[in-house]
């Protein structure tokens, strides 16, 4: 009787291990590198800003989302920093002024 229980337990354990999903190694993002995050933002006068795009952060910028908004950081280990470039190619910070629990609001710094 004990041998049957032990055999059943071993077979169950073997089947569980055989069918368990394997770990897939995905590269860890480099939080010190800028990434295009334009899709995470919406200008307040864009269509759907308070409708179907209501989950995106609002950006108050003369360029809206018509120009690339790049961000780096994870907000935990590396502070989040976003930027946008003007017509002359100068970098301007996009600074967050409202955060959780409310919808994020970011403002273009012209200086």
- Which residue has tokens 């003369």? 62
96, 91, 73, 33 alpha-carbon torsion, rounded to 10°: 160
Domain boundaries, the chain: 29-106
**For the chain, what is the largest distance between any 2 Cα atoms, rounded to a whole number of angstroms?**
82
Q: How confident is the model at residue 79 (pLDDT cuts 50, 70, 90)?
A: confident
pLDDT tens sequence across 6-31: 455 544 555 444 445 555 556 667 88
Q: What is the pLDDT of residue 30?
A: 83
The HSE-up count of residue 52 (CA atoms within 13 Å, CB side) is: 2
Task: For residue 51, give both structure tokens.
Answer: 């409708």
* Predicted model pTM: 0.70
Helix, strand, coil tally for the chain in percent (to 5) = 20, 25, 55
């Amino acid at each position: 009787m004990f041998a049957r229980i032990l055999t059943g337990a071993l077979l169950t354990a073997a089947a569980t291990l055989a069918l368990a999903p394997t770990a897939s190694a995905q590269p860890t993002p480099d939080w010190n590198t800028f990434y295009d995050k334009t899709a995470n933002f919406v200008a307040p006068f864009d269509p759907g800003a308070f409708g179907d795009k209501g989950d995106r952060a609002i950006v108050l910028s003369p360029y809206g989302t018509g120009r690339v908004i790049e961000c780096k950081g994870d907000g935990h280990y590396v502070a989040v920093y976003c930027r946008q470039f003007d017509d002359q190619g100068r970098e301007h910070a996009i600074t967050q002024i409202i955060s959780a629990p409310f919808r994020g609001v970011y403002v273009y710094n012209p200086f």
